[in-house]
């Protein structure tokens, strides 16, 4: 199969032929139909987080099941599926308590003495986040995907596997926003826009979108934001506190930066909660004034939207089919696998919401 192979940080990926193994007892071979380019891919591409090299990036994808292992019961050949990086075992303490996104069981991967799922002559290829979606095929554990409605377009479905699941999940599962509550969302990229959309679906009374780019703020309005703040124009925290007469009940940081994470905590009202959704660089230390710890203000993280993706993903598909979840507007362009490096640079510029690789282009 063809794949975009990542060999060195900040160096263009190369399109190469890679061999994929046959499905093991609980594995599924998927023909990749669409894959979104996510900011998390860019973090690893730039060397901000470690990954074994060579590797194939990509973790936001949809496709069609081609083969299944002998013990697979959840999907069958021909099923349309969305993949998710938070593969789960189903029986560890995290799984049985409903926190599937926190499972770290090695059962969803191949063992050290087994043939790697991906390889080239004379070298093995590291599978990225249990998926490696920038390739024509994916070989994954059966608990790394879920079957979806066949009427769902593949390019829209792919977005559900990471960015949309992360943004909406932070609203529904982590922050648990309730009707009428006040919300501020910092960062209006794909995840932030999905969080805004999720807050609107949840019935938030006021949704304040914060970004430095005017085009993204206008997109945020279309996704459900009631108020817009351009972060380049004055003190963001002071403006939020003033316009809400004391601060918001929920602040969601969707960028992954130290200053904005601290601002999210500072703009809370009494009893409010800040949820850090963005991927903050390893080793970063947050500084919180003890004054803001008074009156039960709190800060928490959201990993992959605290998802239970076998339940959440079909629900998101239904929201889209009911015209409640905005996915069409998230897609800025469709590209081919050969255009992957330009797609990464387009993402870095901050001008686009999402580029989606279509494998039939």
Q: Give the CATH number, domain containing residue 188.
A: 3.40.50.720
Between 172 and 280, the more confident residue is 172
Q: Are residues 20 and 112 in the same domain?
A: yes
Q: Are residues 202 and 105 in the same domain?
A: no
- Residue 43: pLDDT above 90? no
CA dist., res. 67 & res. 61, Å (int): 17
Look at residue 47 in the predicted model and tell me its pLDDT: 86
Please provide residue 46's backbone torsions phi and psi, each rounded to the nearest 5 degrees: -85, 0
Q: Are residues 331 and 211 in the same domain?
A: no
**Stretch 7-12: mean pLDDT, rounded?**
94
Question: Could you tell me the pLDDT band of residue 291, with boundaries at 50, 70 and 90?
Answer: confident
Look at residue 33 in the predicted model and tell me its pLDDT: 98
Q: Is residue 318 part of a domain?
A: no
As for how many domains the chain has, the answer is 2
Per the CB < 8 A criterion, the answer to whether 109 and 97 are in contact is no
Q: Are residues 24 and 110 in the same domain?
A: yes
% of the chain exceeding 90 in pLDDT: 87
CA dist., res. 346 & res. 355, Å (int): 8
Tell me which of 198-212, 290-304, 310-324 is least confident. 290-304
Q: Is residue 250 part of a domain?
A: yes
Strand, helix or coil for residue 141 = strand
Q: Is residue 291 part of a domain?
A: yes
Q: Are residues 134 and 173 in the same domain?
A: no
Q: Are residues 13 and 140 in the same domain?
A: yes
% of the chain exceeding 70 in pLDDT: 99
| Closest to 108 measured CA to CA, from 124, 94, 122 | 94
Q: Are residues 44 and 101 in the same domain?
A: yes
CA dist., res. 172 & res. 119, Å (int): 39
Q: Are residues 137 and 45 in the same domain?
A: yes
Count of Cβ atoms closer than 10 Å to residue 7 Cβ: 13
Per the CB < 8 A criterion, the answer to whether 52 and 8 are in contact is no
- DSSP annotation of 168 reads H
Q: Which two structure tokens, joined as six digits, stand for 187?
A: 């960062």
Per the CB < 8 A criterion, the answer to whether 249 and 271 are in contact is yes
Q: Is residue 52 part of a domain?
A: yes
Per the CB < 8 A criterion, the answer to whether 10 and 46 are in contact is yes
- Residue 242: pLDDT above 70? yes
Question: Which spans in 152-211 are helix H?
Answer: 154-159, 165-169, 190-202
Q: Which domain holds residue 262?
A: 167-302
Q: Is residue 321 part of a domain?
A: no
CA dist., res. 276 & res. 299, Å (int): 8
Residue 266: exposure state from Cβ atoms within 10 A (0-12, 13-18, ≥19): buried
| Closest to 357 measured CA to CA, from 127, 11, 58 | 58
CA dist., res. 265 & res. 253, Å (int): 9
Question: Could you tell me the pLDDT band of residue 290, with boundaries at 50, 70 and 90?
Answer: confident
**Stretch 98-124: mean pLDDT, rounded?**
92
Between 353 and 254, the more confident residue is 254
Q: Are residues 277 and 340 in the same domain?
A: no
Q: Is 58 left (phi over 0), alpha (psi -120 to 50) or beta?
A: left
- Residue 351: pLDDT above 80? no
| Closest to 49 measured CA to CA, from 140, 146, 160, 126 | 126
Q: Are residues 267 and 337 in the same domain?
A: no
Average pLDDT over the chain, rounded to whole? 95
Please provide residue 249's backbone torsions phi and psi, each rounded to the nearest 5 degrees: -80, -30
The 8 Å CB, 24+ separation contacts for 265-271 are: 265/292, 265/297, 265/299, 266/237, 266/292, 267/184, 267/236, 267/237, 267/240, 267/241, 268/292, 268/297, 269/182, 269/244, 270/246, 270/295, 270/296, 270/297, 271/295, 271/296, 271/297
Q: Is residue 208 part of a domain?
A: yes
What CATH number corresponds to the domain at position 50? 3.90.180.10
- Residue 288: pLDDT above 80? yes
Residues carrying an active site annotation? 38, 40, 43, 59, 162
Handedness of CA 131, 132, 133, 138 (dihedral sign): negative
Q: Is residue 233 part of a domain?
A: yes
Look at residue 348 in the predicted model and tell me its pLDDT: 85
Look at residue 178 in the predicted model and tell me its pLDDT: 98
Look at residue 361 in the predicted model and tell me its pLDDT: 65
Q: Is residue 156 part of a domain?
A: no
User: Which tens digits make up the pLDDT trace of 164-209?
Assistant: 999 999 999 999 999 999 999 999 988 999 999 999 999 999 999 9
Is the pTM higher than 0.85?
A: yes
User: Which tens digits make up the pLDDT trace of 45-72?
Assistant: 988 888 999 999 999 999 999 999 999 9
Could you check whether the bond before residue 54 is cis, i.e. omega within 30 degrees of 0?
A: yes
Per the CB < 8 A criterion, the answer to whether 347 and 58 are in contact is no
**Stretch 330-350: mean pLDDT, rounded?**
91
Q: Are residues 346 and 292 in the same domain?
A: no
Q: Are residues 8 and 131 in the same domain?
A: yes
């Amino acid at each position: 199969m063809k794949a975009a192979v990542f060999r060195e940080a900040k160096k263009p990926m190369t399109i190469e032929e890679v061999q994929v193994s046959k499905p093991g007892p609980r594995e599924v071979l998927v023909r990749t139909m669409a894959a979104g380019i996510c900011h998390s891919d860019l973090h690893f591409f730039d060397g901000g987080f470690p990954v074994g090299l060579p590797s194939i990036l990509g973790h936001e994808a949809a496709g069609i099941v081609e083969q299944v292992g002998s013990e697979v019961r959840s999907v069958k050949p021909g099923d349309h599926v969305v993949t998710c990086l938070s593969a789960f075992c189903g029986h560890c303490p995290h799984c049985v308590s409903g926190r599937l996104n926190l499972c770290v069981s090695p059962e969803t991967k191949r063992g050290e003495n087994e043939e790697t799922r991906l390889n080239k002559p004379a070298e093995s290829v590291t599978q990225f986040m249990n998926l490696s979606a920038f390739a024509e095929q994916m070989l994954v554990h059966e608990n790394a995907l879920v079957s979806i409605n066949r009427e769902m377009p593949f390019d829209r479905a792919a977005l559900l596997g990471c960015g949309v699941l992360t943004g909406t999940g932070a609203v529904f599962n982590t922050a648990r926003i309730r009707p009428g509550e006040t919300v501020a969302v910092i960062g209006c990229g794909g995840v932030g826009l999905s969080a805004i959309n999720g807050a609107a679906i949840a019935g938030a009374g006021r949704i304040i979108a914060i970004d430095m780019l005017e085009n993204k703020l206008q997109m945020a309005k279309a996704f459900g934001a009631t108020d817009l703040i351009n972060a380049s124009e004055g003190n963001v925290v002071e403006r939020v506190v003033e316009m809400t007469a004391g601060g918001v009940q929920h602040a969601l940081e969707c960028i992954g930066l130290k200053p904005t994470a601290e601002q999210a905590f500072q703009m809370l009202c009494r009893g409010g909660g800040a949820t850090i959704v963005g991927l903050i660089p390893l080793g970063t230390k947050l500084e919180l004034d003890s004054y803001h710890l008074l009156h039960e203000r709190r800060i928490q993280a959201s990993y992959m939207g605290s998802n239970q993706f076998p339940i959440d993903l079909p629900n998101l598909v239904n929201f889209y089919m009911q015209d409640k979840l905005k996915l069409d507007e998230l897609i800025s362009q469709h590209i081919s696998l050969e255009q992957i490096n330009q797609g990464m640079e387009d993402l870095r510029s901050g001008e686009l919401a999402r580029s989606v690789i279509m494998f039939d282009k």
